[in-house]
Structure 1
Amino acid sequence: MMSKRMQIWRATQAVLTLNSTCNRASTQMFSLGGSSRDMHLSSSWSNQLSNRIIAAPLIPLYASAPGAIRFASSQKDITVESVPSKEIVDLPAIPDAPTPPSNLVTESFMEAGEPSFASIGLGGWSPPGMIQNCMEFLHCTWDIPWWGAIAIGTLCVRTLIFPLVILAQRNSAKMSNNMPQMQVLQLKMTEARQSGNAIESARYAQEMMLFMREKGVNPLKNMIVPLAQAPLFISFFMGLRQMANTPVESMRDGGLFWFTDLTLADPYYLLPVITSATLYLTIELGTDSARLSAANMNTMKYVLRALPIVIFPFTMNFPAAILTYWACSNFISLGQVALLRIPKVRDYFKIEKMISHPPSALPAKKKGFVGGMKESWDNMKITKEIEERQRLDEIRFAKAGKGPLVKTFKYDPTKPHSSPVNPNSSPSTNPNQIETQVTSNLKSSSKH
């Protein structure tokens, strides 16, 4: 064993000596001022030579005996003990790369190359979120500009509630045709209530209910369309305002004509003017409910007429997207009322023909704005006085039932009353006279 190790050590020393000799030869050539090409050749030659010499003793040759290594050397064959082989570990197979989902692009980006609403915090299952999802679908799937998507969404919603508009128009026509009889009962009920006759007032109210049930009239049906439009308007308002405030970048140039930027207010204030004007026409013509010219509106019609003027300062600062929806909704309402004015259309939807009653045929006379306000104020005062009178009567009745009896007579009728004795007259012993005297005294006390 020692002899084998000595032979290996001697071979290694010989290789190292030859390698150092080659390095010195290359250094001397460089110091003698050889050309760069010679230096390159000499250095490359020395490196190759050293590599071959170093690698030569390490090239194993298969020996006859297992576990032995044979080296290519001019010396005698050398055998060394084989190095223990490394243990092979069975690793699990590498899994295949996952395939990307097909909707990976649509989750973060729209088909038009814009960020999706979900990635910027919009959409969802709330009413404003569903409105935003519908707007996104119209804009991305059909490549419709934002103003067109808002208009189409408004048209779809108003089409869905069109049956309610027809129901309100039928009820409005019936109320207008039966207005004289209803006003007679209403005036009688008002007079009975103002006079404090609760029984008569209740009787006329019952007659009014029976009459409206017979004619198929219900004043609450006129409020169906406003009540149905309220949640839709709030959902559109909140959804479009969130889209404008986020903002959705494509809405900056998604407008039309002079309002190209839907995220900002109209710089020329034309959209607020158009919205207020169309709202006034919608209220005046009575698209969704009874017309304001009907006498049953009274003071409310003046309040509704003033509404477009009151809301104008607030709509001036609304984003153009909200006013686009509002104006489209008003134009659709005007189109519906124009359609329902056609006789054939009214006959198809079974809407009665409106009967125009002359003012002389109506019991309630028009009193104008000032007269109507004064009458309403007087009715409120009379109603308050009647309620106060009833409250005092109840207090007096309760007090009379709990307190002591109030003396309302001069003599107690339950006790006999004797007349004062005249000293000059002699006492009468006749019982008939005494009975007659007691009876007269009782009658006089009962009169008192």
Structure 2
Amino acid sequence: MLAKRLQLWRSTQAVFTLNSTATRTSIQMFSGGSNRDLHLSSSWTNQLNKRMIAAPLIPLNAPGPGIIRFASSKKEIPVESVPTKELVDLPAIPDAPIAPPTEISAISSNFVGNGEPSFASIGLGGWSPPGMVQNCMEFLHCTWDIPWWGTIAIGTLVVRTLIFPLVILAQRNSAKMSNNMPQMQVLQLKMTEARQSGNAIESARYAQEMMLFMREKGVNPLKNMIVPLAQAPLFISFFMGLRQMANTPVESMRDGGLFWFTDLTLADPLYLLPVITSATLYLTIELGTDSARLSAANMSTMKYVLRALPIVIFPFTMNFPAAILTYWACSNFISLGQVALLRIPAVRDYFKIEKMLSHPPSALIAKKKGFVGGMKESWDNMKITKEIEERQQLDEIRFAKAGKGPLVKTYKYDPTKPHSTPVNTNPNPLKSESQFTSNIKSTSKH
């Protein structure tokens, strides 16, 4: 019995070994052999499978027909009593869904039309003033494929064109101030003298007269500063936006310059852009600036400060990126063009700007002074104004102390107490009466 079981186990292992060997051989023939070898290997495999089916394995200790014996128990169970599982037709498995092209769309959104990375993908742009400037620059550069130096120049030209009506308004006001300068200087001189003498009432009266005169003539000194006040936020937005673009940096700006400054992200190696910027700024101030001429007496100090501005800013502009200096130089050239355009009589008549009258030197009370004289006069006026303010503060302090402190004795007797008639202690009343009469006579003679 034991020998028969060993023989059956060996025959079973041999069949499995032959089957696996045939499978491997057929695979090798399929991968490297010809069609004939593949046909032979497949037929050989089929013959082996038929033999295994013809000689099925006989289980050990097989019971009688219709009886199944489980290994876990010694009890034999009839086949009819074994529960069978019903086969259920399952629906067909659907195909795997196609993933949405999120990665492709995200990758494509990081690039603009000309193949450059978008500003949003590198942390630029947005709804802040510098961000909106950057968005406009990106639109101009990527839509029409304009080099960066041209993009900066076009953006500057568009912005300066938008504020050109304010330049016209400032020029009208400047012409009116220049034509009414003699009368304004007279009132201003009287007001200054009253202020220096400490007469606050006269100073206020002349100031009121000055306001009425300017209202009658339609003059307002603050209108001369409307263009600098409007241009300041634009300049700051362009400055910060271009600096962020240069510091990020935008790769296409490395070769987006012109002439000797090809790299807009670095400072000018020849220092020509800072020199051009300072020179054009000085010419703009001297020829008339964007707002108005600074020849009025009340603007003389501001004119001296603006004259020194190009020299003061030169050490700082030396290290600015070329993109910022390109914008600044373009803005100064546009200002010079506007000043030259508004000097043409036909253009002034078209924009309803009054013709500026030339006053003789004798009609002007305030004489022109040099830089040193103007600064000295401004310093003296500041000192006088400070002394007057200190004097007023001292008067207020003394008045407050006089109302709270004890009374100062400025009398021989106390007025709050009843005055008693002094007793005559003179033993000779006739002598005192004659002396009193003689005193009256001498007083009447005098």
Residue 75 of structure 2 aligns with which residue? Answer: none
CA 1:336–1:407: 2 relative to 1, 3 Å: same
Does the alignment pair 1:51 with 2:46? Answer: yes
Residue 172 of structure 2 aligns with which residue? Answer: 170
Deviations 1:72-91 (CA, angstroms, capped at 9, x unpaired): xxxxxxxxxx9964651465
Aligned equivalents of 1:112 and 1:235: distance in 2? 26
Deviations 1:327-383 (CA, angstroms, capped at 9, x unpaired): 000011111111111111111111111112232210111232222222222222222
Aligned equivalents of 2:36 and 2:347: distance in 1? 106
What is the deviation of 1:415?
1.8
What is the deviation of 1:404?
3.1
Q: How does 1:20-419 map to 2 (within 5 A)?
A: 45=40, 48-54=43-49, 85=87, 87-89=89-91, 91=93, 94-95=96-97, 98=100, 107-411=109-413, 415-418=419-422
What is the deviation of 1:425?
3.9
For the Cα contact (< 8 Å) 1:171–1:218, is it kept in 2? Answer: yes
For the Cα contact (< 8 Å) 1:271–1:323, is it kept in 2? Answer: yes
More deviation, 290-299/245-254: 290-299
What is the deviation of 1:417?
3.4
Residue 4 of structure 2 aligns with which residue? Answer: none
Residue 420 of structure 1 aligns with which residue? Answer: 424
Query: Gaps spanning 5+ residues in structure 1: where?
Result: 1-9, 25-39, 60-81, 441-448
Secondary structure of the 1:266 match is: coil
Deviations 1:303-327 (CA, angstroms, capped at 9, x unpaired): 1101001100100010000000000
| TM-score, normalization by structure 1 | 0.77
Letter in 2 for 1:198: A
Letter in 2 for 1:227: L
Deviations 1:90-134 (CA, angstroms, capped at 9, x unpaired): 656654554679975652111111111111111111111111111
For the Cα contact (< 8 Å) 2:148–2:256, is it kept in 1? Answer: yes
CA 1:56–1:394: 2 relative to 1, 3 Å: same
Deviations 1:207-251 (CA, angstroms, capped at 9, x unpaired): 000001111111111111111111111110111011111111110
Letter in 2 for 1:131: V
What is the deviation of 1:49?
1.4
CA 1:425–1:361: 2 relative to 1, 3 Å: closer
Aligned equivalents of 2:424 and 2:212: distance in 1? 69
Aligned equivalents of 2:414 and 2:427: distance in 1? 26
Aligned equivalents of 2:339 and 2:231: distance in 1? 16
Secondary structure of the 1:116 match is: coil
Aligned equivalents of 1:197 and 1:19: distance in 2? 127
Aligned equivalents of 2:40 and 2:105: distance in 1? 62
For the Cα contact (< 8 Å) 2:277–2:329, is it kept in 1? Answer: yes
For the Cα contact (< 8 Å) 1:107–1:118, is it kept in 2? Answer: no
Deviations 1:142-187 (CA, angstroms, capped at 9, x unpaired): 0100000000000010011011111111111111111111111011
CA 1:394–1:141: 2 relative to 1, 3 Å: same
Matched length:
389
Secondary structure of the 1:298 match is: helix
What is the deviation of 1:47?
6.0
Residue 30 of structure 2 aligns with which residue? Answer: none
Aligned equivalents of 2:39 and 2:129: distance in 1? 80
CA 1:295–1:17: 2 relative to 1, 3 Å: closer
Aligned equivalents of 2:53 and 2:210: distance in 1? 120
Residue 31 of structure 2 aligns with which residue? Answer: none
Letter in 1 for 2:252: S
Aligned equivalents of 1:170 and 1:17: distance in 2? 113
Letter in 2 for 1:197: N
CA 1:50–1:99: 2 relative to 1, 3 Å: closer
For the Cα contact (< 8 Å) 1:123–1:132, is it kept in 2? Answer: yes
For the Cα contact (< 8 Å) 2:277–2:328, is it kept in 1? Answer: yes
Aligned equivalents of 2:317 and 2:334: distance in 1? 19
| TM-score, normalization by structure 2 | 0.78
Secondary structure of the 1:296 match is: helix
What is the deviation of 1:409?
3.1
Letter in 2 for 1:421: T
Query: Gaps spanning 5+ residues in structure 2: where?
Result: 1-7, 23-34, 55-83, 440-446
Aligned equivalents of 1:58 and 1:280: distance in 2? 108
